[in-house]
Amino acid sequence: MPAQLLDGKVLSQRMYAAMTTQVQELTTKYGRPPGLAVLMVGDNPASAAYVRNKERACERVGIASFGTHFPTDVTQAELEQTIQALNTDDRVDGILVQLPLPGNHLDGTALLLKIDPSKDADGLHPDNLGRLMRGEPGLRSCTPNGVMEMLKAYDIAVAGKKAVVIGRSILVGKPIALMLLAENATVTIAHSRTPDLATVTQEADIVVAAVGRPNLVTADMVKPGAVVIDVGINRIPTESGKGRLVGDVDFAAVESIASYITPVPGGVGQMTVAMLLHNTVLSYSRRLGET
């Protein structure tokens, strides 16, 4: 039997519908909608596409979008001043800087530190990561939180399971490991220096691949019946020259072995944007005393 798809597109649509109703009620009550500000620098086509998707999603659920597009030669000081202004703007509840930043003259980490943690829509400020570490309420990293929402929505039990996270980035690997641990999974973090990766993953009930290497996870690395979460998004060349998107998992081979699997595209990526909007509404609600 092929694995059941963990359909991020369907789940995100369900979330948008619920958020639309919530935003309408809150906007009526407080006289303004939640607001999300996205700062983009340069003309990276992939970044531009991501920003357009975020703006469309905001429009769909009724969130005000305050996108700002800067030229490649914008200075660090100009961006920091913009963030400081957004921190004090009562119309704005979420702020994010679209990565990657072009050139070597901009420091993304320093910009992140300038964002008010209560408006950190990406959930990547050290204050919010520290709250995750301590098990305290806070804005959570969007992609890892999206993975947890998928597991919850499909009634996949995490407690008592062995989970292997491949990747140790601060964006996905480390936060998802902490989230799984908080749900009482036994978690192993594997990475590029892990010897005999297949031996590690073969024991896992849940495999999360988040390294950005096409088809890294092959059929012989997956235990029959395991849940496989593919966070990777990689564009590989095709004869047409347009390329196509694949994940870190060899989907065609692993689908017949796993019990559940996320597709690429249409899986975790869809949930990332949904959780970004969720964080914005959550920040709005907290700032206005709703939660």
Same domain, 156 and 256: yes
Same domain, 112 and 193: no
Tell me: pLDDT of 206 over 90.
Answer: yes
User: Residue 13's pLDDT is what?
Assistant: 96
Residue 190 amino acid letter: A
Same domain, 194 and 114: no
Task: Give the pLDDT confidence of 47-70 residue by residue, as tens digits.
Answer: 888 889 999 999 999 999 998 999
The better pLDDT of the pair 99, 20 is held by: 20
CATH number at residue 191: 3.40.50.720
User: Residue 99's pLDDT is what?
Assistant: 87
Residue 223 a catalytic site member: no
Q: Is residue 163 part of a domain?
A: yes
d(CA 215, CA 234): 9
Same domain, 99 and 182: no
Residue 98 a catalytic site member: yes
Catalytic pick among 98, 223, 248, 250: 98
Tell me: pLDDT of 96 over 80.
Answer: yes
d(CA 84, CA 261): 41
d(CA 256, CA 7): 17
Mean pLDDT of 197-220: 97
User: Residue 73's pLDDT is what?
Assistant: 94
Domain boundary among 50, 84, 118: 118
Same domain, 111 and 186: no
Please provide the average confidence, as pLDDT, over all residues in the chain.
Answer: 95
User: Residue 95's pLDDT is what?
Assistant: 98
- Specify the long-range contacts of residues 56-59, CB closer than 8 Å, at least 24 apart: 57/16, 57/273, 57/274, 57/276, 57/277, 58/277
For β-strands 35-41 and 64-65, DSSP reports them as: parallel
Tell me: pLDDT of 290 over 90.
Answer: no
Cis ω on the peptide bond leading into residue 144 (within 30° of 0)?
A: no
Q: Is residue 288 part of a domain?
A: no
Instruction: Compute the CA torsion angle 117, 119, 122, 125 (nearest 10 deg).
Output: -10
Same domain, 188 and 251: yes
Q: Is residue 95 part of a domain?
A: yes
Q: Is residue 193 part of a domain?
A: yes
Provide the number of structural domains found in the chain.
2
Same domain, 150 and 235: yes
Q: Is residue 224 part of a domain?
A: yes
Q: Is residue 6 part of a domain?
A: no
Nearest to 246 by CA among 209, 197, 272: 209
pLDDT classification of 172: cutoffs 50, 70, 90: very high
Same domain, 160 and 261: yes
- For the annotated binding site for NADP(+), the residues are 167-169, 233
CATH number at residue 60: 3.40.50.10860
Tell me: pLDDT of 126 over 80.
Answer: yes
The residue range of the domain holding 99 is 29-118
The upper half-sphere exposure of residue 167, i.e. CA atoms within 13 Å in the direction of its Cβ, equals 22
Same domain, 106 and 35: yes
Q: Is residue 174 part of a domain?
A: yes
Q: Is residue 88 part of a domain?
A: yes
CA distances from 123 to 129, 207, 213 (A): 7, 23, 24
Same domain, 110 and 156: no
Same domain, 153 and 99: no
Catalytic pick among 22, 93, 119, 122: 122
Q: Is 154 exposed, middle or buried (0-12, 13-18, 19+ CB in 10 A)?
A: middle
Same domain, 146 and 251: yes
